[in-house]
């Protein structure tokens, strides 16, 4: 369907990108409302929206000053202006780099391409708003003579992708939304869409002996041999000429990985386009229209098929512009909806796939790091602490008491938070699984607790200079939770400070810790 839409629009020139840009967020709301099955939540208040969009687009909390300014701004267009400011900020490319590193590498490492080079490559790509199809093409095949994209080779170098089978399975999952691992030895036993011929069609692009244009395979259940050349799921087999030994220069034009980088990330490849917009939707909305993200098949249809079609067609029409698509999603009322259930609606009647309320999203390890640093007022100090050229810090050694020195610079602090809150290498970070270690880290780690003692310019030092309990409560809540406290919460702060007035600094740190350790802080809501 997407290919037909694209071909028709290209032939007739009837889809103007500017017109689609003005309509897509409305289309999102129309399609969500169409399948809601009941009342939807109203728009989130300014505080809830500000925190949500800031974390989603920058990975950070807004400063207390920025939050108060936004709350007081009477401009009816302030949300749109905020979205545009965040998309244009220096934090946006870093946030995208962190999100896509997690998605593409899944916490795996390699020794050949330094992490810093990979991260710079991705940051520069998102800063330049590089089209997604171009970025994927670079990941799939790296021209060794192009130094600018050499770090992209890390995608295939990380541990767990050291043979053609593992490469095949990860390319299918991450770029086509198809978990075809079970199709290596036979057709998938429960998913009719995932066949062994599809597996080996993709495998042929990625096998270790690129000179062989076809491959032979056999099912463990059905006798008989089969052959295939390079073939994308749902596509035609690519015919590659046979070359003699003295035709190496001509044969180089048919390197399978190079052909894959040409053929997979295209407007006409429907699985690629649909998977791409589904993952970007998940990034903003907390759940894919197809969920799980790598289960695109007939028996797991999208929750909103017309919406997935509309997003796909618009993404293609706008030349795979990630920033544009994220902006359209952010402008929708569906994104800006409150996370609180509408009055009279039970939780069981508002499952996440209906998007009747905003889906709660756990902070990623990177978001948790930036937000704890920002909320505690220690961000500037840690940012300004130089990092060693070659870090020897190991989060495993630190957590297990083998080293005592708490990290003091951003790369090492980030490594610690990823170690505590991240999934094991190779495990996608999609669904939230709370762990005892998460709570114990914030509760017991002496380095984190040091952040909650008065230090130059941090939150507890600012609070210690304030005399009035109500003023303290306001600054505490807006700094940590990006909202003003209720009357009851203000009274609780006042009572706690009165109870422990003989150790006021410690009490202020304990109040800050209580908010940092709360579910409200842990989730993006």
Token pair recorded at residue 20:
């689609």
Distances in Å between the alpha carbon of 323 and those of 25, 34, 81, 152, 326?
Answer: 14, 26, 15, 20, 5
The CA angle 126-21-303, to the nearest 5 degrees, is: 85
Do 449 and 382 sit in the same domain of this protein? yes
Of the three residues 300, 325, 354, the one that is the final residue of a domain is 354
Q: What 8-state DSSP symbol labels residue 218? A: E
Could you count the other beta carbons within 10 Å of the beta carbon of residue 212?
Answer: 14
Instruction: Find all residues with CB under 8 Å of 453, minimum gap 6, and list them.
Output: 460, 505, 509
Of 332, 354, 376, the one marking the end of a domain is 354
The answer as to whether 480 is a domain residue is yes
Which candidate, 497, 462, 502, places its Cα nearest to that of 478?
462
The residue out of 354, 384, 407 marking a domain boundary is 354
**What does pTM read for this prediction?**
0.93
Q: Do residue 518 and residue 413 come from a single domain?
A: yes
Instruction: Answer yes or no: is 286 within a domain.
Output: yes
**478 in a domain, yes or no?**
yes
Q: Are 21 and 52 part of one and the same domain?
A: yes
For residues 350 and 39, what is the distance between their CA atoms, to the nearest angstrom? 9
Q: Is residue 44 located within the same domain as residue 85? A: yes
- 168 with 183: CB under 8 angstroms? no
Say yes or no: 380 and 345 in one domain: no
Number of domains in the chain: 2
Q: Answer yes or no: are the C-beta atoms of 140 and 260 closer than 8 Å.
A: yes
Structure tokens at 136: 């994927």
Question: Does 147 reside within a domain?
Answer: no
Instruction: Say whether both 416 and 481 belong to one domain.
Output: yes
pLDDT score for 223: 66
Say how far apart CA 216 and CA 226 lie, in whole Å: 6
Q: Which of 98, 109, 208 is nearest to 158 (CA)?
A: 109
Give strand pairing partners of 225. Answer: 218
For residues 285 and 386, membership in a common domain is answered with no
CA atoms within 13 A of residue 168's CA, in its CB half-sphere: 26
Question: Both 335 and 365 in a single domain?
Answer: no
Same domain, 53 and 77: yes
364 and 481 in a common domain: yes
One digit per residue, pLDDT tens: the chain, 525 residues?
Answer: 334 333 434 432 333 444 444 489 999 999 999 999 999 999 999 999 999 999 999 999 999 999 999 999 999 999 999 999 999 999 999 999 999 999 999 999 998 999 999 999 999 999 999 999 999 999 999 988 899 999 999 999 999 998 999 999 999 999 999 999 988 777 777 888 888 889 989 999 998 665 566 787 777 667 668 888 899 998 999 887 776 676 666 666 778 899 999 999 999 999 999 999 999 999 999 999 999 999 999 999 999 999 999 999 999 999 999 999 999 999 999 999 999 999 999 999 999 999 999 999 999 999 999 999 999 999 999 999 998 888 888 988 988 888 989 999 999 999 999 999 999 999 999 887 778 888 889 989 999 999 999 999 999 999 999 999 999 999 999 999 999 999 999 999 999 999 999 999 999 999 999 999 999 999 999
479 domain-assigned: yes
What is the structure's pLDDT at 214?
Answer: 79
Domain of 6? 2-91+271-354
Residue 523, domain member (yes or no): yes
Nearest-CA neighbor of 128 among 325, 322, 318, 330? Answer: 322
Judgement on whether residues 387 and 510 belong to the same structural domain of the protein: yes
| 44 domain-assigned | yes
In a domain, 155, yes or no: no
Whether residue 364 is found in the same domain as residue 463: yes
Tell me the β-bridge partners of 173. Answer: none
Angle (deg, nearest 10), helices 305-317 and 322-331: 140
């Amino acid at each position: 369907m997407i290919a037909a839409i694209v071909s028709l629009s290209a032939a007739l020139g009837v889809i103007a990108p500017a017109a689609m840009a003005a309509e897509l967020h409305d289309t999102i709301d129309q399609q969500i409302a169409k399948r809601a099955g009941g009342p939807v939540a109203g728009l989130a208040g300014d505080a809830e929206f500000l925190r949500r969009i800031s974390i989603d687009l920058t990975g950070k909390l807004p400063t207390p000053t920025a939050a108060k300014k936004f709350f007081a701004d009477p401009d009816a267009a302030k949300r749109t202006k905020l979205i545009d400011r965040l998309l244009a900020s220096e934090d946006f490319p870093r946030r995208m780099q962190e999100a896509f590193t997690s998605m593409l590498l899944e916490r795996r490492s390699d020794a050949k391409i330094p992490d810093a080079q990979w991260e710079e490559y991705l940051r520069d790509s998102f800063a330049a708003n590089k089209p997604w199809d171009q970025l994927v093409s670079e990941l799939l095949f790296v021209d060794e003579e192009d130094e600018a994209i050499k770090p992209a080779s890390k995608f295939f170098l990380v541990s767990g992708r050291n043979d053609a089978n593992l490469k095949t399975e990860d390319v299918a999952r991450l770029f086509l939304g198809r978990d075809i691992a079970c199709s290596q030895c036979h057709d998938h036993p429960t998913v009719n869409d995932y066949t062994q011929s599809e597996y080996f069609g993709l495998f042929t692009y990625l096998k270790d002996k690129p000179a062989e244009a076809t491959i032979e395979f056999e099912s463990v259940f059905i006798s008989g041999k089969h052959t295939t050349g390079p073939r994308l799921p749902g596509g035609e087999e690519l015919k590659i000429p046979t070359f003699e030994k003295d035709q190496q220069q001509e044969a180089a034009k048919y390197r399978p990985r190079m052909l894959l980088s040409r053929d997979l990330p295209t407007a006409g490849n429907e699985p690629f386009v649909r998977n791409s917009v589904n993952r970007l939707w998940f990034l903003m909305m907390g759940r894919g229209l197809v969920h799980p993200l790598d289960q695109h098949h007939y028996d797991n249809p999208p929750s909103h098929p017309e919406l997935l079609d509309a997003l796909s067609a618009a993404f293609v029409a706008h030349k795979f512009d990630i920033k544009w698509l994220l902006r359209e999603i952010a402008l929708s009322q569906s994104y800006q909806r409150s996370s609180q259930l509408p009055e009279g609606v039970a939780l069981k009647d508002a499952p996440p796939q209906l998007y009747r309320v905003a889906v709660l999203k756990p902070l990623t390890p990177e978001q948790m790091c930036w937000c704890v640093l920002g909320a505690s007022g220690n961000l500037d100090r840690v940012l300004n602490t130089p990092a060693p050229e070659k870090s020897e810090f190991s989060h495993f050694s630190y957590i297990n008491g083998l080293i005592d020195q708490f990290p003091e610079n951003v790369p090492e602090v980030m490594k610690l938070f990823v170690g505590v809150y991240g999934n094991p290498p190779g495990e996608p970070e999609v669904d939230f699984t709370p762990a005892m270690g998460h709570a114990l880290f914030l509760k017991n780690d002496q380095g984190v607790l040091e952040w909650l003692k008065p230090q130059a310019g941090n939150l507890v030092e600012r609070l210690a200079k304030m005399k009035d309990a109500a003023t303290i409560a306001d600054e505490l809540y807006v700094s940590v939770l990006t909202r003003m406290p209720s009357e009851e919460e203000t009274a609780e702060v006042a009572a706690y400070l009165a109870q422990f007035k003989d150790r006021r600094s410690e009490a202020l740190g304990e109040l800050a810790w209580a908010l940092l350790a709360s579910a409200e802080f842990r989730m993006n809501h």
